[in-house]
Amino acid sequence: MLDHIFLPVSDVARAVAFYQAALAPLGITDRLDYDGRDGPPGHPDLKGFGANGRVFFWLRGGDAGGGDAAHVGFVARSRGEVDAAYAAAMAAGATDNGAPGPRLHYDPRYYAANVLDPDGYSLEFVFKSWQHPQ
């Protein structure tokens, strides 16, 4: 199980605005700013996102690798959440990397949408019906 990820972004304010819009349909709305001075020497400032009191997705200023540097899959609780997250991400400046729909190469019940964020990172919003109680 993943506890957290730090993603370097080229423009922190732009990235925060993008992720606030793109992740809200998934219920990822908790925000926390962490001042790097509170950590060990050299710790970066962080902008965190999470849900249910748990912050797990962090942005930090830096050289964005984009493209193949990272792929992050976010859990959706329904096909509708996948569609909404995709629409929100596109409206916030994402680039399409796979419209919402079944991903038959994985499983007929695997429903996802793929975008590239403003730094070119690969994001996936995914609903796996077998992982959610009906």
pTM of the shown model: 0.90
Note the pLDDT of residue 48. 96
Q: What is the pLDDT of residues 14-46, one digit of tens each?
A: 999 999 999 999 999 999 999 999 988 999 999
Q: What is the pLDDT of residues 120-134, one digit of tens each?
A: 999 999 999 988 765
The HSE-up count of residue 63 (CA atoms within 13 Å, CB side) is 2
**Whether 62 contacts 121, CB under 8 Å:** no
**Whether 6 contacts 62, CB under 8 Å:** no
All structural domains of the chain: 5-131 (3.10.180.10)
Alpha-carbon 130 to chain mean position: 21
Dihedral of the alpha carbons of 10, 68, 5, 93, in degrees to the nearest 10: 50
